[in-house]
Amino acid sequence: MGNTIPPDPKATAMTLLMDTPTTALTTPPADVSEWVNSWAEILTPTDIVWCDGSARERNELIELMQSTGTIEALNPDLRPYSFVARSEPTDVARVESRTFVCSESEDDAGPTNNWMAPDDMRAELLELSQGAMAGRTMYVVPFSMGPIDSPMARYGVQITDSPYVVVSLHLMVRVSNRILNAISGGANWVKCFHTVGAPLAEGEKDVAWPCNDTKYISHFPESREIWSFGSAYGGNALLPKKAFALRIASVMARDEGWLAEHMLLVRITSPEGKRYHMVAAFPSACGKTNFAMMQPSLPGWTVETLGDDISWLAVDDSGNLRAINPEAGFFGVAPGTSTSTNPVAMDTLWGNTIFTNVAVTEDGDVWWEGMSKPAPTGLTNWRGEAHNPESGDPAAHPNARFTVGIEQCPSLAEDWDNPEGVVIDAIIFGGRRSDTVPLVMEARDWDHGVYLGATVASEKTAAAEGTVGELRRDPFAMLPFAGYHMGDYMAHWLSIGETLRAGGKMPRIFQVNWFQKDDNGRFIWPGFGDNIRVVEWMVKRIEGHVGVNDTALGLTPHTADIDIDAADIDEDTLAGLLSVNPAKASADVDASSEFLESFGSKLPEGIRRQLDHARAKLQA
C-alpha cells in the first residue's frame, strides 16, 4: 500500500501471530508490566486481570455484571444475547467541561480546548487515584485501532476497573493478546488509564453503576497518554473512542503527516458498477449515521458502510489519499433511530447488543423516543422506574446508546477490514442550516475545501443546550475532538493538500446542507435515501460530466443536473435550495471571519485568502 500513515518505526512485530484471534500470553511486555504495576501501587486493586478479547472472557464479564445489577438481560426471543444498562443519573454523557488537553504549552492546546499544565494535572489525578480501585479488579485491555496487520493501525492498552467498559471495548475495537505480542516486539503504544473512582471497603456492597462526582478526562499529547477518572460512561471511559482515535491520534497525525478525522466512510457503487469512496464530516444531529447506512432511492445505486464515525486518512506512495475505519463497532445514539429513519441500524441491533439508558417494554425489549408511535404502554424508563407518560419526561435518556459490533451491519462492505484501506474520491462537509447554505456545493480547490470545513456550522436543536436556532461553529466537526490548536489543525489540512498536489491526485471536496426549511418550518429536501441524488451529482462532477455555477460561496449544480424523478420535490423548489442569497451569504462570511479570527496569529494565511476571495465575489 505504499507509506499511507507512516508505519510506527518500532512496529517490527506487527505481523506476529496474525493467524489466530487471540494467543496465549506467557510473559507480558516489560514496559506494559511496569506501567500496570506502577498504577497498581497507586490504585491498590484486589486483583489484576490481563484481558485477551475472547468470547469466554466476554461471557464471564456479562455474567458478573448481571450478578451485580449493572446490566439486565433482555428477552432472548426478541433481542438475543442483548442487555440493558442503566447509568447513575449524573453519569450520562461526555463531560466536555471536564475534558482537558494537557500539552506542555498552553498555546498548543489552543482556545477550543480546556488546558491544565501536565504536572499539575498529574498531581491532582494521582491524589484522587490513591486507593481508587480498592476492592475492585483492575482489567488490562490491549487493543488495536485499525486492522492489526495494517500499517495504518495504532496500538493501545487501557486499564480500567469497569467490566462494562471491558465488554464495550470488546464490541468497539479489536481486543487481543496479539497487540501485547506486537508491543513485545517493539511497537509503540498509547497508555490509557481509567478508573470509576469508587473504591470498595471490605464487606461494602457495590452499587450497580459505580462512579464519582468528580470527573476528569485528561490527554497528554507529548507522552501519548490518557488519564480518565470518575465516569463509566461513553467517551469518558471508552478511551479508544474519541480520546485516542481523535484527540491523541490527531496529534500523532500532525507529527507523522496524516489525518485523524470525525468522519464516516462509505463506498458508493453506480449502476454501471463503478465504485467511489467518500468520507463525510457532520456535526451532531446532521445525519451522519443515516448517510453511513443510506438506502438509496435511485435505482441501481448502492451504499456500503465502511465506518460511521471516525476515519484515519493518509497519502500513499502513489499520491492517493487512503482511509481506514480504526474502530470495529458502533456506539450510536438510540433516540430518533427507527425503521423509517435508519432501517439498516435497526437491523444491526437484532442481538448481541449492549443498550444503555434506553426504556424497556413489558415483554422485555428496548424502546426509545422516535422508535415508534405511539409509545408502548407499561414501559420501564431509563432510571428503572415505571414510565409515566403524563410527566413529560422521556422514557429513554436523550443520549441513550447502543454498542454493537460492526460486522452485524447489513450494509457493511465485505472488505471493510482491508488493512490497505480505500482510496478516497470525495470529502464531504455538512451542517444544519435552515437557510444561507445551499443543498450542495463543490469547493473550487483543496484550500477552498479546507475553508468550507473550517466554517461548518449547525443550528442548535431543541435537544441541545442553548437557544434553539443559535449557530454553533464546529470546524470539520472536530471542535470538541482536536487534540491541539485549531489554527494549527487547519494549517495541517492545508499541508496535506500540498502533498496531494505534488502527486496530482486530489479528492473533490463538497459541502451539503440537508436542512433548509420553508416558511412553515418544514424541511424542504426529502433527505434520507433521496440524498443519493446529491451524491449522484458529486459522481458526475468527479467524472467531469456536468458543469457548475460559480457562486460567492462555492460551485453549485445546474438544476437540471440533479435527478429528482419520483422525488417529493419540484424543479422550482430545487432551484431555491441551490440558490445563494447575497445578503445572507455576506452576513455568514462576516460571522465566519469573526469566528476564525478567534484563532489569532495561528489562523493560516490560506484561510484568510479564502475569506478575502469570498468577500470579493460578493462585491462583484
pLDDT score for 460: 74
pLDDT at site 505:
87
Model confidence at 26, in pLDDT bands (50, 70, 90)? low
pLDDT value of position 108: 98
Instruction: State the amino acid at position 99 in one-letter form.
Output: T
Quick check: 109 pLDDT over 50?
yes
Say whether pLDDT at 6 is over 80: no
Per the listing, cell 456545493 goes with: 441
Report which of 484, 564, 556 is spatially closest to residue 524, judged by C-alpha positions. Answer: 564
φ/ψ of 259, rounded to 5, equals: -130, 135
Give the residue from 260, 240, 242 showing the smallest Cα distance to 169: 240
DSSP assignment of 148-192, as one string? TT-TT-EEEEEEES-HHHHHHHHHHSEE-HHHHHHHHTT---EEE
Structure confidence at residue 202 (pLDDT): 93
The 3-state DSSP composition of the chain as helix, strand, coil percent (nearest 5) reads 30, 20, 50
Has 211 been annotated as catalytic? no
User: How many CB atoms sit inside 10 A of residue 591's CB?
Assistant: 15
**Confidence (pLDDT) at 287:** 87
Q: Is 403 helix (H, G, I), strand (E, B) or coil?
A: strand
Which residues are within 8 A (CB) of 67 and not within 5 positions of it... i.e. 6 or more apart? none
Distance from C-alpha of 110 to C-alpha of 104, rounded to nearest angstrom: 12
Q: E-assigned strands of 197-273?
A: 216-220, 225-229, 259-261, 264-269
Closest listed residue to residue 593, CA positions, set 617, 606, 612, 616: 612
pLDDT-derived band at 503, boundaries 50, 70, 90: confident
Q: What is the pLDDT of residue 461?
A: 59
Q: What is the pLDDT of residues 171-205, one digit of tens each?
A: 999 999 999 999 988 899 999 999 999 999 999 99
Report CA Rg, the chain: 24
CB 13 within 8 A of CB 185: yes
| Mean pLDDT for the stretch of residues 301-323 | 97
Report pLDDT digits (tens) over 377-415.
999 999 999 999 999 999 999 999 999 999 999 999 999
Q: Is the pLDDT of residue 53 over 80?
A: yes
Q: Find the distance separating the first CA and the last CA of the chain, reported in whole Å.
A: 46
Give dist(CA 530, CA 539) in Å, integer. 15
Say whether pLDDT at 214 is over 80: yes
Instruction: With CA atoms as reference, report the closest residue to 306 among 268, 274, 360, 332.
Output: 268
* Residue 470 confidence class, pLDDT cut points 50, 70, 90: confident
- Give Dmax over CA atoms of the chain in angstroms: 77
The average pLDDT across 443-468 equals: 81
Asked whether the beta carbons of 568 and 523 are under 8 A apart, the reply is no
Q: Is the pLDDT of residue 211 over 90?
A: yes
300 vs 374: which has the higher pLDDT: 300
| Tens-place pLDDT, residues 406-452 | 999 999 999 999 999 999 999 999 999 999 999 999 999 999 999 99
Those residues whose C-beta lies under 8 Å from the C-beta of residue 246, and which sit 6 or more positions away, are 260, 261, 262, 310, 478, 481, 482, 483
Name the strands in the sheet holding 259-261, side by side, starting at the edge strand that comes first in the sequence: 259-261, 311-315, 321-324, 422-423
Cell of 19: 493467524
Amino acid residing at 213: D
User: Mapping DSSP to helix (H, G, I), strand (E, B) and coil, where does residue 342 land?
Assistant: coil
Q: Is the pLDDT of residue 327 over 70?
A: yes
Q: For the beta carbon of residue 601, count every other beta carbon within 10 angstroms.
A: 5
- Please write the tens of the pLDDT for every residue from 135-151: 999 999 999 999 998 99
Q: Say if residue 72's pLDDT is above 60.
A: yes
Catalytic residue among 51, 102, 192, 286: 286
Q: Which domains does the chain have, with CATH numbers?
A: 30-67+98-257 (3.40.449.10), 261-327+417-619 (3.90.228.20), 330-408 (2.170.8.10)
Q: For residue 232, what are the CA distances in angstroms to 79, 306, 316? A: 24, 28, 38
How far, in Å, CA of 207 to CA of 224, rounded? 33
**pLDDT at res. 285:** 79
What integer pLDDT is reported at residue 8 of this predicted model? 45
For residue 477, what is its C-alpha cell?
466537526
